[in-house]
A and B are shown apart, each in its own frame.
Chain A
Amino acid sequence: MSLKRTPLFDVYKKYGGKTIDFGGWELPVQFSSIKEEHIAVRERAGLFDVSHMGEILIKGEQSLSFLQSILTNDISKLTPGKIIYTLMCYENGTVVDDLLVYMLGIEEYLLVVNASNTEKDYEWINSKKIENVTIENVSSDWAQLAIQGPASIEIIEKLTGISSDEIKYFTFLDEVDIKGIQVLLSRTGYTGEDGYEIYCQSFEAKKLWEALMDEGEEYGLIPCGLGARDTLRFEVKYPLYGQEITDEITPLEAGLNFAVKLQKEDFIGKSSLLAQKESGIPRKLVGIEMIDNGIPRHGYEIFVGDVKIGHVTTGTQVPSTKRNVGLALINVDFSEIGTPLEVVIRNKKLRAEVVQTPFYKR
């Protein structure tokens, strides 16, 4: 099977992008280096192609009550122009996907889902469909660029005349003009830094990329790949589907309670999550830091004595601080800060301990 490509594929080469297979997509893992790109976003600004993300449009008279029934967060809190982060769960409380919901208008919502889950999500949502709702997978019509980092505020203000006061965190403005391109400008991101995610029609994606790069150059804006996107989100403990959240992990275990409203009307997974909350949540997502020399990685097992107590969900050496840290899903009994544990790295048990998260705060 050939790999899918975003409308920006041709641009990668020009900027030295090195591509890899990312869940069936041929995407740039890095342009200059993951370290450089990570630091650029923390200190200046970085531009990411995230056009692989899926977009599903939900419309119709019953769209709000439909979304309330399949999503964990309280979608009724939205007004047009606002965005909410939510989980979508199975009946057993484990996760189908995590996503953003944009309220485009009355009875009109855009769900932005993980690329590798788009088909699965679309089928799942369709299988739960009620009357007077339409569901449309519009992923290929849309491209998405993320401009992240402190300087992105000025770059966007210069290009659009819109200041950050006019577009608060987790809100968006539609029909914004950037060099003649109509975009949806969203004050969101997956890096823990200030910035925007910008949606445009696929055929205008290249033009938008070049417009942003041209304007951003003097601010130190550089193109960034998925490698830096991963280290940036990891450092601020944003979950990644397939690692911190999966169809075997509940949002309560992953510490995403803020996006699960157990007091709202019934939704898929609610009874299981309520039951888990009442009986005690067995596992917890914590930060770990190596004491011995080694780097924790996704899937490595964690032991206390001879007992396996969990596994690493994501781990790396953080580019800015060089700390060898990880996120780990472990037995809640061992989750207190300072608890000593051991990570199995290439058949050796190496010492680590539970530490505070996130690893970075703006």
Chain B
Amino acid sequence: MSIPSNLLYSKDHEWVRTEDNKIIVGITAFAQEELGDIVFVELPEVGQNITANESFGSVESVKTVSDLIAPVSGTVLEINEELSDQPELVNESPYEKAWMIVIEPSDLSELESLLNAEQYEQHIQ
């Protein structure tokens, strides 16, 4: 199971990458594996404010619907439009092509409560 060491993780199986004070969010390889074939991804609108530990969208597999839980609070700057036509990217490339949203974080200290790769690995065992 791939858990890149340069990312942070939430207990709800989102990954977080920091880039120039922006935060990029997606779901982990473990999460997509558990969900199975992803057939639908619903993301927020650009400009929307999202709150840490609350739903910012949803991801649906053939069988189930799961909430996407925001790892940090902030304003949505960008969403990955490709996922609406190619939700299967979440299965194929969860950490790269299937990034979901870019956020301008409102409180960087929220990053401190996230897990590093090693802690996340323990979390999913």
Contact = CB atoms under 8 A, between A and B. Distances in A.
5 contacts: A34-B36, A316-B63, A317-B60, A322-B39, A346-B42
Contact of A34 (B42, B63, B84): B63
- Give chain B's interface residue range (CB within 8 Å of chain A): 10 to 19
A267 to B, nearest CB: 36
Interface in A314-346: 316-317, 319, 322, 324, 346
Interface residues of A, number: 19
A346 B36 contact: no
A258 to B, nearest CB: 29
Interface in A243-294: 293-294
A348 to B, nearest CB: 10
A35 B62 contact: yes
Interface in B22-78: 34, 36-37, 39-40, 42, 58, 60-63, 65
A227 B62 contact: yes
A311 interface: no
A29 interface: yes
Given A293-B84, A346-B58, A35 B37 contact: yes
B60 A295 contact: yes
Interface of A: 18, 29-30, 33-35, 227, 230-231, 293-295, 297, 316-317, 319, 322, 324, 346
Contact of A33 (B37, B65, B84): B37
Contacts of B61: 34
Nearest to B64: A297
Contacts of B60: 295, 317
B52 to A, nearest CB: 20
A22 B74 CA distance: 39
Given A29-B63, A297-B65, A316-B62, A227 B39 contact: no
Nearest to B91: A33
Contact of B37 (A18, A34, A295, A324): A34
Contact of A317 (B34, B58, B62, B84): B62
